[in-house]
């Protein structure tokens, strides 16, 4: 697809192309490198940019703030990609961003020929609207902005070429698929289905290695881009606490936490999820890794199943609760907090004296303080001594830009529960 507008790299400077002017007092956030410009910050648009095209973002006194991509249909009217007047969002800049993203994962030791790794994390790699995950030999590009959608062919090529010329990894992609985040497609005016964009079609299930566990991802069919890579290091760290222990893995999906627990010596693991497909995959994973004997999968609603087990007087040495997001919007926050409270109460009751309770929360609207307050309150109600052992975020291949902390969501808190 031809790119809209002229290539800004060919323009001598920002003063000649379309521009978006900010209101007085609104520039600071963007000088501070926040990437999302909402209509409320904008005083006017000059030069009628088409959707997806390059614009210069200027202060109310016409000083250069950054380069962005425009979208009149989106609430994010401009996504900013560069704060350097000499680096407009064109091939050279995107290649540099991609190169830096790949180099970071290499230096973290998280990218290899057979790993599962987040290569590009949208705002956190300064490419708003583009997420790229690696599963073994395949890459999954997830597009969530119109500007990135219009450039997806080029981006796929740049990503492939930058990886192929990177000396620090033996990973060489065989194929790249592209997916369009459904909820964002509507908000951004994005079109196009999920498809192979380059190379060989992936098999229905792609095998990859996560910290010693063999796993399968479905690049074109699974939840998110196929798995939940953000918990990779947390699974490994929690697994270390499970040697010779009984483990309850609630909201287990394909078995992520439970499999690490089993690998690191847990004696018995019960995984609970409501999705039959997820549990079939979990069983498959257990068998592939020779761990099936110690693992049991239960299809149920976690709230009901935990209540039932609590009434029956069961307990586990390690209890892991990794529910989905409970609130999308502020209006749903109260109800979400009630859900977490109920869940944490059940979790504490099911944890053996001296045992470990792992609480994960991927609701971005709930911050660490709210989470810890909740833990404190539920612990007091249950008359327990609760200690915080670790507080963890997502794995470092899912960094958070300091200038865009709204994109931070995952919290994982490891507690010890004593009577
Ligand atoms: N712990 C997993 C990821 C969990 S994702 C990992 O490490 O990979 C959240 C999971 O919760 C999904 O698999 C979804 O099917 C399941 N789920 C959501 N609500 C549920 C409920 N009320 N009862 C049981 N499972 C639920």
Per the domain annotation, does 2 fall within a domain?
Answer: no
- Residue 252 CA to ligand 1 centre (angstroms): 6
Looking at the DSSP bridge assignments, the partners of residue 70 are: 78
Per the domain annotation, does 216 fall within a domain?
Answer: no
Q: At what angle do helices 302-311 and 333-350 cross, to 10 degrees?
A: 30
269 and 409 share a domain? yes
292 and 171 share a domain? no
Q: Please state the atom number of ligand 1 nearest to the C-alpha of residue 301.
A: 23
272 and 234 share a domain? yes
Measured by CA distance, the residue closest to atom 13 of ligand 1 is: 253
| pLDDT digit string, tens, across residues 302-333 | 999 999 999 999 999 999 999 999 998 999 99
Contact 387, 368 (CB under 8 A): no
> Which of 33, 54, 82 is the last residue before a domain boundary?
82
Per the domain annotation, does 62 fall within a domain?
Answer: yes
Q: Describe the strand order of the beta sheet including 138-143 as a list of residue ranges.
A: 116-121, 130-135, 138-143, 175-180, 195-199
User: Mean pLDDT across the stretch 184-191?
Assistant: 82
Contact 400, 393 (CB under 8 A): yes
72 and 96 share a domain? no
235 and 186 share a domain? no
164 and 263 share a domain? no
- Residue 253 CA to ligand 1 centre (angstroms): 5
**How much is the mean pLDDT over the chain?**
94
295 and 150 share a domain? no
Evaluated on CA atoms 177, 183, 188, 192, the torsion sign reads: positive
Per the domain annotation, does 181 fall within a domain?
Answer: yes
| pLDDT digit string, tens, across residues 73-119 | 999 999 999 999 999 999 999 999 999 999 999 999 999 999 999 99
Per the domain annotation, does 136 fall within a domain?
Answer: yes
- Residue 336 CA to ligand 1 centre (angstroms): 15
Report the length, in residues, of the chain: 419
More confident residue, 13 or 370: 370
Per the domain annotation, does 217 fall within a domain?
Answer: no
> Which of 82, 109, 130 is the last residue before a domain boundary?
82
Range of the domain at 63: 8-82
The set of protein residues with a Cβ atom below 6 angstroms from ligand 1 is 228, 231, 251-254, 256-257, 273-275, 278, 301-303, 322-324
Rounded to two decimals, the pTM is 0.93
Q: Which of left, alpha, beta for 290 (phi over 0: left; psi -120 to 50: alpha)?
A: left
| Distance of alpha carbon 198 from alpha carbon 2, whole angstroms | 18
Task: Kindly report the CATH number assigned to the domain that includes residue 295.
Answer: 3.40.50.150
When divided into structural domains, the chain yields a total of 3
277 and 139 share a domain? no
Per the domain annotation, does 15 fall within a domain?
Answer: yes
């Amino acid at each position: 697809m031809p790119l809209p507008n002229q290539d800004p790299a060919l323009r001598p400077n920002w003063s000649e192309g379309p521009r978006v002017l900010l209101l007085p007092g609104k520039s600071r956030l963007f000088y501070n490198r926040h990437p999302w410009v909402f209509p409320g910050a904008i005083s006017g648009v000059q030069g009628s940019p088409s959707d997806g095209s390059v614009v210069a973002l200027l202060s109310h006194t016409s000083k250069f703030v950054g380069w962005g991509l425009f979208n009149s249909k989106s609430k994010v009217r401009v996504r900013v990609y560069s704060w350097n007047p000499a680096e407009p969002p064109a091939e050279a800049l995107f290649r540099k961003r991609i190169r830096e993203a790949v180099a970071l994962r290499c230096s973290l030791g998280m990218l290899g020929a057979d790993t599962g790794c987040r290569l590009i994390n949208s705002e956190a790699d300064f490419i708003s609207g583009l997420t790229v995950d690696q599963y073994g030999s395949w890459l999954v590009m997830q597009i969530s902005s119109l500007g990135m959608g219009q450039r997806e062919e080029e981006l796929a090529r740049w990503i492939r070429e930058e990886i192929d010329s990177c000396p620090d990894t033996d990973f060489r992609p065989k194929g790249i698929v592209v997916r369009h985040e459904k909820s964002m497609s509507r908000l951004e005016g994005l079109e196009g289905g999920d498809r192979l964009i380059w190379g060989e079609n992936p098999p229905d299930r792609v095998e990859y290695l996560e910290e010693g566990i063999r796993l399968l991802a479905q690049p074109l069919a699974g939840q998110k881009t196929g798995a939940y890579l953000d918990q990779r290091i947390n699974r490994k760290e929690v697994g270390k606490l499970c040697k010779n222990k009984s483990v309850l893995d609630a909201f287990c999906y394909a078995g992520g936490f439970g499999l690490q627990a089993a690998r690191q010596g847990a004696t018995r693991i019960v995984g609970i999820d409501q999705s039959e497909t997820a549990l079939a995959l979990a069983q498959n994973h257990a068998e592939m890794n020779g761990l099936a004997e110690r693992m049991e999968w239960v299809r149920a609603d976690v709230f009901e199943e935990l209540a039932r087990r609590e009434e029956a007087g069961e307990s586990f040495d390690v209890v892991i609760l990794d529910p989905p997001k409970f609130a999308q919007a502020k209006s749903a926050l109260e109800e979400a907090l009630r859900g977490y409270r109920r869940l944490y109460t059940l979790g504490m009751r099911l944890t053996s004296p001296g045992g470990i309770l792992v609480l994960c929360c991927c609701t971005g609207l709930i911050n660490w303080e709210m989470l810890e307050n909740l833990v404190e309150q539920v612990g007091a109600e249950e008359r327990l001594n609760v200690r915080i052992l670790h507080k963890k975020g997502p794995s470092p291949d899912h960094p958070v830009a300091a200038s865009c902390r709204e994109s931070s969501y995952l919290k994982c808190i490891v507690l010890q529960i004593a009577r």
